[in-house]
A and B are shown apart, each in its own frame.
Chain A
């Protein structure tokens, strides 16, 4: 057996899946802070129709990040060798961030 290679079914002493799970949690927390700031910007700017729509777009982006993170965390939770991050999730979470940016530009300009 090569030293350091985990045995299936045994807990990884490096806690790699746990650390990755916490990294996803931190990321959802960061995106929540961004969503709150966007909400505050929208409300302070006098909630006209356009700003409200842009704020909704921001919230959709935030919810998307949450959904992708939740699925990924569930994928990491199982025992044994954890699933690898699929490209779908990686691109998905970035698209959600871009949606937030799009809504944010609307809020700032509105």
Chain B
């Protein structure tokens, strides 16, 4: 079973596709332009999610001065990294959707939204606890 290896190979193939637009265009047939535009808007929505995470990183750095330096910088860098990951995943997902539409295949499924949701919820719960208990306690 190549369950662990296959996603890595798929990702490498997708990265190659990012830089060879002609390959995407030649694949299958051109879908209704409205589907392509909807895919583009989804891509942009994910990009804004990434920008929100990045902005959150700057906000943590700025507006939590009472946090110890390590925690503050660590949390800020983690949010910046999450934003970068989200942006990379956005373009990867856009390419995969575009290709699936051209080939008439099912759209790719992803566990990334659920994963991101759980992580954001977890961070939010921790912050609520920190605020209620008080950082000093």
Residues of A within 8 A of B (CB): 5-6, 12, 14, 16-17, 19-20, 23-24, 26-27, 30-31, 33-34, 37-38, 40-41, 44, 81-82, 84-88, 90-91, 93-94, 97-98, 100-101, 104-105, 107-109
Contact = CB atoms under 8 A, between A and B. Distances in A.
Interface string B1-34: 0000000000000000111110010000000111
B80 A94 contact: no
A97 B54 contact: yes
SS of B interface (majority) = helix
Interface residues of B, number: 42
A97 B84 CA distance: 7
Contacts of A17: 37
A85 B36 contact: yes
B34 A16 contact: yes
A17 B38 CA distance: 10
Contacts of A94: 47, 87-88, 90-91
Contacts of B50: 97
A108 B57 CA distance: 9
Nearest to B18: A91
Interface of B: 17-21, 24, 32-34, 36-38, 40-41, 43-45, 47-48, 50-52, 54-55, 57-59, 61-62, 73, 76-77, 80-81, 83-84, 87-88, 90-91, 94-95
Contact of B36 (A12, A84, A88): A84
Contacts of A101: 54, 80-81, 83-84, 87
